[in-house]
Amino acid sequence: MFRSLRGLFSSDLAIDLGTANTMVMVVGGGIVLKEPSVVARHIKSGSVLAVGSEAKLMVGKTPGSIEALRPLKDGVIADFDASEKMINMFIKDIPALKKKLLTPSLRMVICIPSGITDVEKRAVKDSADHAGGKEVYLIHEPMAAAIGIGINVRSEEH
């Protein structure tokens, strides 16, 4: 009973923050978002005008007051503020979360490149925290891939 009650107030997400695309999976709902990792924002105010597909359409076509950018470079966050806002807007767009009674308590697992530095890890975790993550876990992409194909990653055999 507690587990079903908890489900009304929380959600578990897996996020693959890619340089080209961001994917979000909701437990029990599969992949619910696959969008380009692009942000369009007003240069002076920093306000985000669009993210994902809508922002990608603006690349190379914006007036001087608007920039369309990819906030991730080589799989790591290059623009912390834009990444945070992109994650936040993507999460708010997930239909399964809109059905929750209250603002959900989000548990997130985020894939990160294996060569990421501690500073870059902190930037990813902080972005997720500010986007509403109550519990944020980082997992290296090769480990996520191994788990995804069913390899027993706890085994000590090679």
Is the pLDDT confidence value at 102 over 80? no
Q: pLDDT value at position 97? A: 65
CA distance 101 to 15: 23
CA distance 56 to 89: 15
Task: Report the pLDDT averaged over residues 111-131.
Answer: 85
Task: Report the pLDDT averaged over residues 144-150.
Answer: 88
Residue 96, CA distances (Å) to 31, 99, 109, 129 in order? 11, 6, 17, 20
Q: Whole-prediction pTM value?
A: 0.78
Is the pLDDT confidence value at 128 over 60? yes
DSSP for 66-87, please give it.
EEEE-SEETTEES-HHHHHHHH
- Beta strand 72-73 pairing with 105-112: unpaired
Is the pLDDT confidence value at 99 over 80? no
pLDDT digits (tens, 9 = 90+) for 21-69: 999 998 888 889 999 999 999 999 989 999 999 999 988 888 889 999 9
Q: pLDDT value at position 5? A: 41
